[in-house]
Structure 1
């Protein structure tokens, strides 16, 4: 197989896996489904290119996540609000905006729905996967959030931040559904509403 053909088949497998899982759910999509949708002649193409289907699925997540991670880092670096409450709102908006804005194109909407399926599958530990592919922006975000809500115990805050990541995927998937239903909702409005929800959850008083 030429290098070009190799890359084309690999890309087709990634694309078909993303689309099928986004549309049908991770648990109902087989390796055979992915291979057929990709137009791969070799029935073992997934194993040839990725080793196993789990590695393929992780790569679908990673290929766009890397760009989202970079964009999130840039936005977080621009947050200059000093007041703790307003700063927390700005931080959450900066963190969630790349996912929300991904919904503005069809491929991004598929990716967001894929992520929702991926994050809820027991075969994958989302935190471990994100750590594997790099999450300096999330580490920075956590440190800054700690400063904004000093009264929240560390164990509680850590749990809330983990949940906030999952909540943000649900929010982005809901935004994608609204856009596909023909609703005219600006991305900045969706980001504002989503970040307000996350702030309310993260900063809620304990006890």
Structure 2
């Protein structure tokens, strides 16, 4: 087996085991063994550390998802006046579900991602920042322009929460149905409906009051850290 094929086998084996058992419950030795590697140092040779292995899984899957998402959102920006919130959410959801149903895809990645997001020892943001998160950053920019009844910071937070909800919902549905190839069109449509409602709902007086308080505290902290001018 070539180095490239060995590396891919280790990535996909790790993804599957992490999806099934959780990231902290799988040893590097177990991944080596499950990938059929007689050389116990194979994984260390290709990745060095567990963090580098996680980063390789994201590169293997998320780069394509991100490119698909950026393509959909760029098309939306060309027709900005006619775009809808639902189309923004579709650009969040469809690239991930398309990856799940593609040849060589499957549901291991979304289940792995669900574990990674929930694992306090895995900083997903740090692993993907400026590499595979352009699509979600673009989502936030477009959503801010459309959801003008909400403060931008609230829109950003809702998009982040919606992204996490999307991943966990898809992973939970896969576990519930034990279907390793796809999620039903009904489930996806209803998932999109729920995210549209969540991100576009008006902010309550309680939320706006708490937001104003947090903003004041943040402003005070920022001012206190500014160098004194003499």
Instruction: Report the TM-score when normalising by structure 2.
Output: 0.77
Residue 168 of structure 1: aligned partner: 166
Q: Deviations over 1:178-197 (max 9, x none)?
A: 55359x9643x333211211
> Deviation string for 1:70-105 (max 9, x for gaps)?
11112223334746xx71111101221111233336
1:101 partnered with 2:98: yes
The superposition leaves residues 145-200 of structure 1 with CA deviations (integer Å, 9 ceiling, x where unpaired) of 00111121222222222111111101221343455359x9643x333211211121
Residue matched to 2:32: 35
2:20 to 19, 23, 32: 23
How many aligned positions are there?
A: 200
Farther-moved stretch of structure 1 (95-104 vs 10-19)? 95-104
In 2, Cα distance between the equivalents of 1:65 and 1:96? 13
Q: Is the 8 A contact 2:174 2:183 kept in 1?
A: no
| Residue of 133, 148, 151 corresponding to 2:149 | 151
CA contact 1:93–1:192 (8 Å) conserved in 2: no
Task: Give the Cα separation in 2 of the matches to 1:134 and 1:147.
Answer: 22
1:133 shift after superposition:
2.0
**Is there any run of 5+ residues in structure 2 with no aligned partner, and where?**
205-230
Cα pair 2:170 2:183 within 8 Å, conserved: no
Higher-Rg structure is: 2
TM-score of the pair, normalised by structure 1: 0.85
Moved over 6 A (4+): none
